[in-house]
Amino acid sequence: MRLLVLGGTHFLGRHVVGAALDRGHEVATFTRGVSGAPPAGVRALHGDRDDPAALPAALEGWLPETVVDTSCQTRAAARNAAAVLSGVRGYAFVSSLNAYANWPPGPIGPEDGEPTWETDDDEYGPVKAYAEREIGAAVPGRFLTARAGLIAGPDDRVDRLGWWLRRVARGGRVVVPAEGWDQPIAAVDVRDLAGWLVAMAEQGVSGAVNATGPTGMTTLGGLLDLCREATGGDAEWAPVPEADLLAAGVEPWAHLPLWLPAEVARTAWDVDTTRARELGLPSRPLERTVADTWAWLQGVEELPPPPHGLSHPGLPADLESALLAGR
């Protein structure tokens, strides 16, 4: 099929392109052209998704049959995609659990029983919820919205798992959240998600899907143990009580990636993925994801900036030293 990837030059989009090529599709990417080129053999189209004239001009009569949308970040981008791509046979849209009005803290049950945001502001979750409605109305019965959770694996510029891997590899005493050690973690490997999105677009599957790993697949402590195994480091865990972390100004999720305060973590990782499993979303062993991410990092001299204006995650060295002092 002719498959258009909105995005397609880094992380999830790049893996979607690879999966589509492996399945024999004729692939085009549509990007601003500032984050690298797609693989050889891909039609590279450029333009600003917020400009209503950009996508039709870039396509120049090349009509996609299927779409995987990894890059919708604004209401204008959603409207423009809906206006141009309404005739496709299948459209797989990468949304987020943040589209749910009650997440976090959740929990999140079956997709059709949970409300999504309906506000008009430009925050991430409401924009994703708006895009689901806008594009879904234009592609009725052929639009799948994948409400993704934590995505991990090679090529990850957001760098949450990557930061932990590098910090653990340096060894020594590593600050970890005492109460958060046993908090559940669920992740989906970027390669599993990418291949599945292409398959869903091919089949024209519709509806919402909580596209993340199964509940209870591991804990934060279990993930960090995997990081130590993958890197071969001699890191020593230094548990710090949650109250002390917060008092010192440690920002959950940002300074200690993947850590959430206990009150939120109790339910935020409790997400029903029954439909994802029924539709064949794979869940490869987490140790493979961790090991492959570490292998990829070995060849990266300097990570590019995180996408979408995000900040680099990680605990500042001075804050780490202060927390370790006297422990």
Give the integer Cα–Cα distance in Å for 49 and 43: 17
pLDDT in tens, 279-311: 999 999 999 999 999 999 999 988 878 887 788
Q: What is the pLDDT of residue 118?
A: 97
For residues 180 and 193, membership in a common domain is answered with no
pLDDT in tens, 92-143: 999 999 999 999 999 999 999 999 999 999 999 999 999 999 999 999 999 9
At 42, list the tokens: 């891909």
Q: What is the pLDDT of residue 183?
A: 95
Q: What is the pLDDT of residue 301?
A: 84
Instruction: Specify the CATH number for the domain of residue 124.
Output: 3.40.50.720
* Closest alpha carbon to 172 in 236, 259, 261: 236
Strand partners, 26: 2
Q: What is the pLDDT of residue 36?
A: 83
Strand partners, 288: none
Q: Which residues of the chain have pLDDT under 50?
A: none
For residues 179 and 321, membership in a common domain is answered with yes
Residue 261 · residue 246 · CB < 8 Å: yes
* Count of structural domains, the chain: 2
Residue 200 · residue 144 · CB < 8 Å: yes
Give the integer Cα–Cα distance in Å for 7 and 18: 13
Q: What is the DSSP string of 48-90?
A: -TTSTTHHHHHHTT---SEEEE----SHHHHHHHHHH-TT-SE
- Domain span holding position 248: 156-186+215-269+285-326
For residues 205 and 291, membership in a common domain is answered with no
Q: What is the pLDDT of residue 230?
A: 98
Residue 32 · residue 45 · CB < 8 Å: no
At 90, list the tokens: 């299948």
- Whether 220 is in a domain gets the answer yes
Instruction: Specify the CATH number for the domain of residue 169.
Output: 3.90.25
Q: What is the pLDDT of residue 327?
A: 76
Sequence-distant contacts of 38-45: CB under 8 A, at least 24 apart: 38/8, 38/9, 38/14, 39/14, 42/8, 42/17
Q: How far is CA 325 from the centre of its chain?
A: 35
Instruction: Name the burial class of residue 97, with classes exposed (0-12), middle (13-18) and buried (19+) by CB atoms within 10 angstroms of its CB.
Output: buried
Q: What is the pLDDT of residue 77?
A: 98
User: Which pairing describes strands 184-185 and 218-219: parallel, antiparallel, or unpaired?
Assistant: antiparallel
For residues 91 and 106, membership in a common domain is answered with yes
Rg of the chain over all Cα atoms, to the nearest angstrom: 20
Q: What is the pLDDT of residue 308?
A: 75
